[in-house]
Structure 1
Amino acid sequence: MKETELWARLQRHLGAGYYRVWAMEQNLGDLGGRTVVQALEAGVPSKEIWRAAWAALELPPSER
């Protein structure tokens, strides 16, 4: 998954006005307590970040 797809999915599920804030402030346990932005900066693959976000947002399996 490309980083642009990660951002598009986050925007689709959280809304244009909130997804960036969530990505900067929500610490995800599956990412070692890092935020989406911190994980990207650390070089974590976008697919792994999406899986952590998917779990945190409790999205349906069809969105995985």
Structure 2
Amino acid sequence: MRLTEFWRRMDHHLGATYARTWARDHVIAELGERTVQQALDSGTPAKEVWRAVWLSLGLPASER
């Protein structure tokens, strides 16, 4: 998954403005107690980060 696709999905589910804030502030256990932004900045693949976001938001399987 490319970062552009990752951010498109984030914007779709959280809104363009809130997605960036959520990514910067929300700590996710599946990402090693890091935020989305910290995980991406450290090189964690976007697909892996999306899976953690998907779980955290409780999105339907079709959005995985």
TM-score (norm 2): 0.97
Q: 2:38 — aligned with what?
A: 38
More helix by share: 2
Residues 22-53 of structure 1: CA deviation (Å, up to 9, x unaligned): 00000010000111110011100000000000
Provide the rounded CA distance (Å) in 2 between the counterparts of 1:4 and 1:42: 17
Provide the rounded CA distance (Å) in 1 between the counterparts of 2:4 and 2:17: 17
Give ranges in structure 2 of 5+ residues lacking alignment.
none
Give ranges in structure 1 of 5+ residues lacking alignment.
none
Q: Alignment length, in residue pairs? A: 64
Residue 7 of structure 1: CA displacement?
0.6
TM-score (norm 1): 0.97
Q: 2:27 — aligned with what?
A: 27
